[in-house]
Chains A and B, each alone.
Chain A
Amino acid sequence: MHLTREQEKMLQGEYGWATAKAMEIIIKVGEAMGAEELVEIVHAHISGISYSTIGKYGAEFIRDIVLRGGKVRVFTTVNPGCIDYSGLSHVIDNSLIEYQRLIDEPLREAGVKPVYTCIPYFYRAPLPGEHLAWGESSAVVFANSIYGGFTNREGGPVALAAALTGYTYKAGLQLLENRVGVIEVKVNARTLSMPIGALGLWMGECVKATPFIRGLRNTQLDYLKNMLASAAASGNHALVIVDGFTPRDTFRLELTERIEPEVEVLEDYLGDECTGSRVLGYLGCPHTSPWELLLITRFVKRYGKPKRGKLLVTIPAEFTRIYRDLVLELKAMGVDIASGTCPVVSQFKEKFDCVLTNSGKALFYLRRIHRVRVKLASVREIVKHLSGV
């Protein structure tokens, strides 16, 4: 591995133990991935900071790194934790609050911006060609595919190490030569009429090489966010080239195959039959954008309060302050709001028979984590179902 003088100094401990350890992580992982040099990043996003996922050992590691002098060198954001930071929710279990603090406090001390969200691009949208080191699969695929930022899926403590050094290894999607669309996926109008999470889940499972999607030019960003997150959950996609969205010169095309998914195929990805009396409607995976929040408010106003079950909406931590009026309005209409968390990384207070959601990613994980039945539906259908219209 070729290192600059500054990187060499970091590795040798001139910037402290924590930076040296972080540099060693980046270099060793980079060598295993075939990197020959490191690249400077502008934004790190750390995932895997929920106490309910990483437990006391993860908390200990993060605390030790910060106690021994770890400070972030670039703009750094964090993923959701396992508690509702607003304290408004009656659905999310906040009993781990003292334990989550063991992770949050050292992170803040290290200089991380405490956004607790899986949509870090809301805080700083990457520019085409910028190098990033992001964890959180849904954010990674969105940054690569929609903004044309360059990032790999930096799992576990790699994103933290990149934040502490300001560098990551130059391999995989950090190189233009690896950002190549191979399989053309044509989306027709019939397919688009289905919940878009199903298309994402199908793509993650059935399209193994990097897809190039046609037919989504008039789709809203929030739908794309949902589809890309679903594809990244059921498969390993970190880049999906979307015709009309992915910026020029951030990818190449070498198409070898063409697929047009039919409605009948996607129906297998719509989830389970929703039976039982304890129903939860869940929106906000990945976290809602302001526009989605507005849309949900409109639908709840139009169709009425949720009566046949609870409706949970998860938002970035700061939204409770920035969009206070909307949040309070939704709260007044009986909608449950949780900020800075989501059911994928936290626990429910009560048991549910079935979850209705618009997100393919939520379907994929909630089945495995909470062992509930999950069904995909559109936002409008979910609100209508819960209101009993």
Chain B
Amino acid sequence: MYRGEVKPIIPGFCRGEVTLVDGYISFFGEVSPDRGCLSTLENKCFNGKVLVFKGTRGSTVAPYVIYALRRNNTAPVCILVAEVEPMLIVGCVIAEIPLFVVKDYEGLVKNIHVINNSGYLEVRGSELLLYRRV
């Protein structure tokens, strides 16, 4: 089990299977809100999972795409990022998706790789817990 620290931006329920996208995402253009998947990276899906990625590439349309994920029931349970910017915050507020900034992002990514990208992640207050899938 790996323990880490997070800073809650939008606190809330955060527990589930982890999906890691080690890079920057542009929600407008790179995410399909109908399926809750990334259209670029090998069709990675985060529907109902804990989504971990580095940060967003700015487009002011991003908040609306995140809102569409909620409307289509394809939203992730919560989002963990290394860097946060206003448009991602706005999107998560209107879509009611908990948002956290990971203090040691590289450490978390390394540990997700160690457990072959298939683990459970949970946030309790400002503590992050990563379990191997049994």
Interface residues of A (CB under 8 A from B): 21, 24-25, 28-29, 31-33, 47-48, 53-58, 60-61, 155-158, 161
Q: Is B64 a contact of A61 with CB atoms below 8 Å?
A: yes
**If A32-B9, A156-B60, A156-B62 touch, does A60 touch B90 (CB 8 Å cutoff)?**
no
Chain A residues within 8 Å of B65, by CB: 57
Q: How far is the CB of B125 from chain A (nearest CB, A)?
A: 18
Q: Is B87 a contact of A156 with CB atoms below 8 Å?
A: yes
Chain B residues within 8 Å of A57, by CB: 33, 61, 64-65, 67-68, 71
Q: Is A53 a contact of B67 with CB atoms below 8 Å?
A: no
Q: Is B62 a contact of A25 with CB atoms below 8 Å?
A: no
Q: Is A60 a contact of B89 with CB atoms below 8 Å?
A: no
Q: Is A61 a contact of B94 with CB atoms below 8 Å?
A: yes
> Within 8 Å of chain A (Cβ to Cβ): is B63?
yes
- Cα distance, A61 to B72, chains bound together (Å): 13
**If A48-B61, A156-B62 touch, does A21 touch B93 (CB 8 Å cutoff)?**
yes
User: Which residues from 74 to 121 on chain B have a C-beta closer than 8 Å to any C-beta of chain A?
Assistant: 84-87, 89-90, 93-94
Chain A residues within 8 Å of B63, by CB: 61, 156-157
**If A25-B93, A32-B86 touch, does A155 touch B60 (CB 8 Å cutoff)?**
yes
Residue of A28, A31, A61 near B67 (CB, 8 A) is A61
Residue of A32, A58, A161 near B61 (CB, 8 A) is A58
Chain B residues within 8 Å of A21, by CB: 93-94
Chain A residues within 8 Å of B60, by CB: 47-48, 155-156
**If A32-B9, A155-B87, A158-B86 touch, does A55 touch B93 (CB 8 Å cutoff)?**
no
Q: Is B61 a contact of A25 with CB atoms below 8 Å?
A: no
Q: Is A33 a contact of B64 with CB atoms below 8 Å?
A: no
> Within 8 Å of chain A (Cβ to Cβ): is B10?
yes
